[in-house]
Structure 1
Amino acid sequence: MNLSIFGKSLFIPSDVIAAWVFTIIMGGIVLISIFKYKKLPVIWEFMRTTNHRKIGTLYILFGFIFFLRAGIDALFIRSQLAVPNNDFWVFQFQKYNEVFTTHGTMMIFFAATPMLLGLMNIAVPLQIGARDLAFPFLNAVGFWLFFTGGMLFNIAFFLNSAPAIGWTGYAPLSTSLFTPGVGSDFYVFSLQISGLGTIFTALNLIVTIVRLRAPGMKFTRMPLFTWATLITAFLILVAFTVLAIGLYLLMFDRMFGTKFFHGPDGDPVYWQHLFWIFGHPEVYILALPAFGIFSDIISTFSKKRVFGYPAMVLSIVLIGFLSFMVWVHHMFTVGLGPVTNTIFAITTMAIAVPTGIKIFNWLFTMRGGVIRFTTPMLFSLGFIPSFVMGGVTGVMLSVSAADFQFHDSHFVVAHFHYVIIASTILGIFAGIYYYYPKITGLVLDDKLGKWHFWLFLIGFHLTFFPMHISGLNGMPRRVYTFRVGEGLEITNLLSTIGAFTMGISMLFFFYNLYRTHRKGEKVGNDPWGGRTLEWTVGSPSPEHTFSPMPLVEEMDPFWYAKLRRERMKIAKKHRASPISRNSILPFLMTITLGLMSFCMIYKWYVPAIIFGAGVFSFFIIRAFHDERAKHYGKEQTDDE
């Protein structure tokens, strides 16, 4: 089918039309359900909200939807690679390139990162005794920027323009010389928009943690999830800014004919430097929040204070610092020379030291504790050996001479997934099960949760452990088939079986959600026997918490207050804190920005200018509606 828009002719193939039809049908079912159950007021409320719990819930909801899309892409990839010389109906080599591009990009930028930001939004203000994030309006803008970027990226498929350049977007493949369509432009603009939202959220989290802690909540008394969030926010601030610079230069190469990354005056290695200065800190942007979640969960379900708290904090800081000193280990085969390779091999090995310290701290936290094997605890325990395996292969890859053998093979794919899934995805599931009472007031069924955990963990190892072997046997990454007799049949088939096992585990998670909301009963403030301040407020957490504010005199203040059978102490003076007020402006502002970017992709400059003026107009309107000053002044008067 040919579609003409603003004079541009777009060819839409049959598989994309089928996806349109399916989406329209599913959307119709959703709309009918909304009208039937009268959920429109709830949707309108969430479109306008600036409350940290509701924003966090939206991050998790849409991040999870994108996670499912990326997971389906992964099943397509594994279906194609199940047997040699496969001709899976949807896959020609170009379709395969599109699918592994969308899989990686969705998982990193639109699934893992936003779901972690959602957990930070929900838990961190409660952990430090703040009523909300420092800038509630900016928090809403950050979420809707992520949402707009994610929708812009996904709509490319429905216009037969999905990017096919890998999640790394390597130049010169990503330049207009080699990918002349608009697919790569969708990649560039969607990551720019969502990345801007991530930077805004990072700034918000830094100010909140530094300025809005409850009286007595010293840095040495903060929960480890809050510590991990603070360091992660600083990493985001630097890493995503570097990525934005790279995307900006790539946009100029593609749209305006500059030659930063190709041609006689350009160099594609420049893109690699910019991308991996972002890319390796991004690994720890994903892992550090999960480390914080695991720390709090292991402490809670061991009924013990975290072992070696100062060492845990120091190791988080060191990991954050060293993460900016290792990016060249992704570029050992580029030709930077033995001296450069050796320096970055040493820094890569060094980062294993603070990570190893954390492993022993978690083990010693459990030693002698009264351990309860709840679903969040199982996900935390499953993380430890899985992540250690990823760490071991990481040390192997840090040897630059050996990396020439491992490079661009399935061994690297296996290592990457052992690090990311073992830390980030297991951490996200642990956090969702753990904080679900604070999100909804309900506790997910523990038995179904354990089915989810065991099937996911078994499927994970069955998928990626054989990839180490197939990689050593010569299976390259980014190829859509292999031949008979190469010794790769068994390992690839096992990996495919494992991937579908992980997919089946998600059915138990969905049924758990359905059953919990159908039959679940509301729980109180403290269903887990928690240790920190978030368990002192209601479930779900109310919009206006901590009035009056608590007084923190030690680590794990709620736990020790319960041991002494006393109430949490109340601060004599309140600290100025924000108040969240509903506003539709963040939604309108970011959707208009998305429309402007869409027009820029197709070079429709007149509507792009109109939408750009609309964005600027919304900023002007916002300038006359700042709810914070009046509230701050009133609160200060009350204190006095």
Structure 2
Amino acid sequence: MRTTHHRKIGTLYMLFGFLFFIRAGVDALLIRSQLALPNNEFWVFQFQKYNEVFTTHGTMMIFFAAMPMLLGLMNVAVPLQIGARDLAFPFLNALGFWLFFTGGMVFNLAFFFDSAPAIGWTGYAPLSTSLFTPDVNSDFYVFGVQISGLGTIFTALNLIITIIRHRAPGMKMTRMPLFTWSTLITSFLILIAFTVLAMGLYLLMFDRMFGTKFFIGPDGDPVFWQHLFWIFGHPEVYILALPAFGLFSDIITTFSKKRIFGYPMMVTSIALIGFLAFMVWVHHMFTVGLGPVVNTFFALATMAIAVPTGIKVFNWLFTMRGGVLHMTTPMLFALGFIPSFVMGGVTGVMLSMSAANFQFHDSHFVVAHFHYVILASTILGIFAGIYYYFPKMTGYKLNESLGKWHFWLFLIGYHVTFFPMHITGLKGMPRRTFTYDIGEGLSKTNFISTVGAFLMGIGILFLFVNLFITLRAKKRVGPDPWNGRTLEWTVASPAPENSFKPMPAVQEMDPFWYAKQRGEKLKTTTDVRAEPLSRDSIIPLVMALLLGVLAFGLMYDWYIIAVLAGIAELACFVVRAFHDERELFYGKEEKAHE
């Protein structure tokens, strides 16, 4: 609760992100159970309850599961990959995590208040305004996502400064691992995209609580919300995918025993994807009525973004070509990702054609495409990262046999679930509908999808068993269990605090690998780098929880509680500022003494 160390913060991100992932997965199984049979009357489902479940499923998966687990892997690996002793601002890193935790708790508490939001993960106006959803349900969405998003922005700032300013001597940007590159580009995307989302949520909050009319009424426009949301929402797809691309790149090079093919082009393609990500948001809005000129521009931009993505696929394939492949569990997830993601990319090009999009829009075809892209890249990438970096988080290595059971069950279940949804979508089944008639020809495909969903759930159970057995056995591994290539495999497992003493001297890409090939130790330097001030503190947790209390005060009109929480929040800022001054003063004194 007091830690500010990057590995521990990363482990906390992984832990709570995984717990939220399980809750969102249970929601998915409830959805599939309702859709397994025509005219089904599953006990928990009325129309409103179904709306609540698909809202919490989507919101939890995007904001409270996938994004935090990727941030956790970044926290664990990126400082170690570049030879940094911690993130640039450890206190801010802890605050970012606890803000995510608080936002997740606020959102999940809605279930216990029987007030779960029912507006979809996109929160479309005017449905999300107080005119159509006057109860507190939608407020849980607004405040939960807002608080968590603030923590994500803080973490992105921290990662950018760390990568730019805290690299080891000789670690030029042209020598950085691709996971670090993808983290840097992703962090810039987060800064822009999450800021736009924050603005949209603030305006929605004012509409709901203070009677403004940004998204409704004669002076408001619900399409304004769509623009703000999708200016965030489509870069968010790449915010989730790019870190996974970087992970897969490092994993494929490690288990192919080859340097990545076309490193400059891989970096360029990551940057191009990040740039083009902000030029395609209207392809979510082709049916809004913006006109053929606008639709044509965004259709072409959407097709263009497939080019740098395709470059990456060929580079991964050429990296493996002629390599010595080791079929470990992380490598299997990387290999399973490539054809799965390509299938999602093909349907993405289909959806990019605005005329065809009029037929596909709001159907199960879109749901299938979305899951083929996000689940193939992000979730498979997260699983690969868990198996790959588990030694650096805990000091233990997950069981390979159980890991492969997890991989095959999950991958097969994934295709069995979502491939039939292309067919149901082409047959006209709309998304966000809770039932269908027996004569519509949708029964078999929906039942097959439900079987696949439960198969994925069984795969997750193998991961649980693997975690339990591994943590109970407590068999320690050394610093380099995978025969790695980059600097993170030079420090002990789990990664200690204040690592890299002395600092490594980097002279090439994959420095650890080539030092091993030459039978040498990694070169070090006598350069002294400033250490981040990583003293433990309870203040980040208190500040985040106070923000949660303030949110509840506003939601339920407990204005006295909200004001008191705000005053206490300001007091925490003052205490932290005074603490900073003391650290700065004593830091100078210690340096002078040295």
Write out per-residue CA displacement over residues 285-336 of structure 1, whole angstroms, 9 at most, x where no aligned residue: 0000000000000000000000000000000000000000000000000000
Residue 234 of structure 2 aligns with an amino acid whose one-letter code is H
Instruction: Tell me the equivalent position of 2:120.
Output: 166
Instruction: Tell me the equivalent position of 1:408.
Output: 362
Structure 2 counterparts to residues 32-181 of structure 1, below 5 A: 47-181=1-135
Residue 452 of structure 1 aligns with an amino acid whose one-letter code is H
Q: Using the alignment, how far apart are the partners of 2:577 and 2:146 within structure 1? A: 24
Is contact 1:578–1:628 with CA below 8 Å preserved after alignment?
no
Write out per-residue CA displacement over residues 47-105 of structure 1, whole angstroms, 9 at most, x where no aligned residue: 00000000000000000000000000000000000000000000000000000000000
Instruction: Tell me the equivalent position of 2:569.
Output: 615
Structure 2 counterparts to residues 246-261 of structure 1, below 5 A: 246-261=200-215
Deviation at 1:520, TM superposition (A): 3.9
Structure 2 counterparts to residues 502-541 of structure 1, below 5 A: 502-541=456-495
Write out per-residue CA displacement over residues 21-40 of structure 1, whole angstroms, 9 at most, x where no aligned residue: xxxxxxxxxxxxxxxxxxxx
Residue aligned with 2:579, SS: coil
2:341 to 387, 390, 401: 387
Q: Does 1:377 align with 2:325?
A: no
Structure 1 pair 631–329 and aligned structure 2 pair: CA distance change class (3 A): farther
Instruction: Tell me the equivalent position of 2:320.
Output: 366
Is contact 1:463–1:496 with CA below 8 Å preserved after alignment?
yes
Q: Using the alignment, how far apart are the partners of 2:592 and 2:454 within structure 1? A: 60
Instruction: Tell me the equivalent position of 1:495.
Output: 449
Structure 2 counterparts to residues 236-385 of structure 1, below 5 A: 236-385=190-339
Write out per-residue CA displacement over residues 1-39 of structure 1, whole angstroms, 9 at most, x where no aligned residue: xxxxxxxxxxxxxxxxxxxxxxxxxxxxxxxxxxxxxxx
Larger mean Cα displacement after TM superposition, 603-612 or 352-361: 603-612
Q: Using the alignment, how far apart are the partners of 1:431 and 1:79 within structure 2? A: 30
Q: Using the alignment, how far apart are the partners of 2:67 and 2:586 within structure 1? A: 32
Deviation at 1:519, TM superposition (A): 1.7
Deviation at 1:571, TM superposition (A): 1.5
Q: Using the alignment, how far apart are the partners of 1:630 and 1:207 within structure 2? A: 23
Is contact 1:443–1:520 with CA below 8 Å preserved after alignment?
no
Structure 1 pair 154–551 and aligned structure 2 pair: CA distance change class (3 A): same
Q: Does 1:629 align with 2:591?
A: no
2:140 to 171, 186, 190: 186
Structure 1 pair 500–590 and aligned structure 2 pair: CA distance change class (3 A): same
Residue 312 of structure 2 aligns with an amino acid whose one-letter code is K
Structure 2 counterparts to residues 530-569 of structure 1, below 5 A: 530-569=484-523
Residue 153 of structure 1 aligns with an amino acid whose one-letter code is F
Give the TM-score, by structure 1 length. 0.92
Q: Using the alignment, how far apart are the partners of 2:587 and 2:395 within structure 1? A: 30
Structure 1 residues not aligned, in runs of 5+:
1-46
Q: Using the alignment, how far apart are the partners of 2:356 and 2:206 within structure 1? A: 37
Write out per-residue CA displacement over residues 385-408 of structure 1, whole angstroms, 9 at most, x where no aligned residue: 000000000000000000000000
Q: CA-atom RMSD, angstroms?
A: 1.1
Structure 1 pair 638–481 and aligned structure 2 pair: CA distance change class (3 A): farther
Instruction: Tell me the equivalent position of 1:12.
Output: none
Q: Using the alignment, how far apart are the partners of 1:444 and 1:512 within structure 2? A: 6
Instruction: Tell me the equivalent position of 1:11.
Output: none
Residue aligned with 1:624, SS: helix
Give the TM-score, by structure 2 length. 0.99
Q: Using the alignment, how far apart are the partners of 1:166 and 1:634 within structure 2? A: 55
Deviation at 1:633, TM superposition (A): 4.1
Write out per-residue CA displacement over residues 88-144 of structure 1, whole angstroms, 9 at most, x where no aligned residue: 000000000000000000000000000000000000000000000000000000000
Is contact 1:576–1:635 with CA below 8 Å preserved after alignment?
no
Is contact 1:576–1:632 with CA below 8 Å preserved after alignment?
no
Q: Using the alignment, how far apart are the partners of 2:583 and 2:490 within structure 1? A: 26
Q: Using the alignment, how far apart are the partners of 2:473 and 2:104 within structure 1? A: 33
Q: Using the alignment, how far apart are the partners of 1:377 and 1:216 within structure 2? A: 29
Larger mean Cα displacement after TM superposition, 269-278 or 513-522: 513-522
Deviation at 1:544, TM superposition (A): 1.2
Q: Using the alignment, how far apart are the partners of 2:593 and 2:412 within structure 1? A: 57
Is contact 1:135–1:578 with CA below 8 Å preserved after alignment?
yes
Q: Does 1:235 align with 2:184?
A: no
Write out per-residue CA displacement over residues 540-577 of structure 1, whole angstroms, 9 at most, x where no aligned residue: 00011011110000000000010111111112312223
Q: Using the alignment, how far apart are the partners of 1:366 and 1:378 within structure 2? A: 13
Q: Using the alignment, how far apart are the partners of 1:629 and 1:69 within structure 2? A: 43
Larger mean Cα displacement after TM superposition, 162-171 or 563-572: 563-572
Residue 393 of structure 2 aligns with an amino acid whose one-letter code is I
Is contact 1:130–1:212 with CA below 8 Å preserved after alignment?
yes
Deviation at 1:579, TM superposition (A): 3.4
1:602 to 552, 556, 562: 556
Structure 2 residues not aligned, in runs of 5+:
none
Deviation at 1:632, TM superposition (A): 5.9
Structure 1 pair 402–375 and aligned structure 2 pair: CA distance change class (3 A): same
Q: Using the alignment, how far apart are the partners of 1:160 and 1:515 within structure 2? A: 37
Aligned length: 593
Residue aligned with 2:503, SS: coil
Is contact 1:304–1:369 with CA below 8 Å preserved after alignment?
yes
Q: Using the alignment, how far apart are the partners of 2:179 and 2:6 within structure 1? A: 16
2:151 to 197, 205, 208: 197
Q: Using the alignment, how far apart are the partners of 2:287 and 2:110 within structure 1? A: 33
Q: Using the alignment, how far apart are the partners of 1:391 and 1:226 within structure 2? A: 24
Residue 524 of structure 1 aligns with an amino acid whose one-letter code is G
Deviation at 1:635, TM superposition (A): 8.3
Q: Using the alignment, how far apart are the partners of 1:411 and 1:472 within structure 2? A: 6
Q: Using the alignment, how far apart are the partners of 2:279 and 2:586 within structure 1? A: 43
Write out per-residue CA displacement over residues 161-220 of structure 1, whole angstroms, 9 at most, x where no aligned residue: 100000000000000000010000110011110000000000000000000000000000
Is contact 1:50–1:140 with CA below 8 Å preserved after alignment?
yes
Write out per-residue CA displacement over residues 392-433 of structure 1, whole angstroms, 9 at most, x where no aligned residue: 000000000000000000000000000000000000000000
Is contact 1:463–1:497 with CA below 8 Å preserved after alignment?
yes
Residue 470 of structure 1 aligns with an amino acid whose one-letter code is T
Q: Using the alignment, how far apart are the partners of 2:203 and 2:164 within structure 1? A: 34
Instruction: Tell me the equivalent position of 2:390.
Output: 436
Structure 1 pair 480–194 and aligned structure 2 pair: CA distance change class (3 A): same
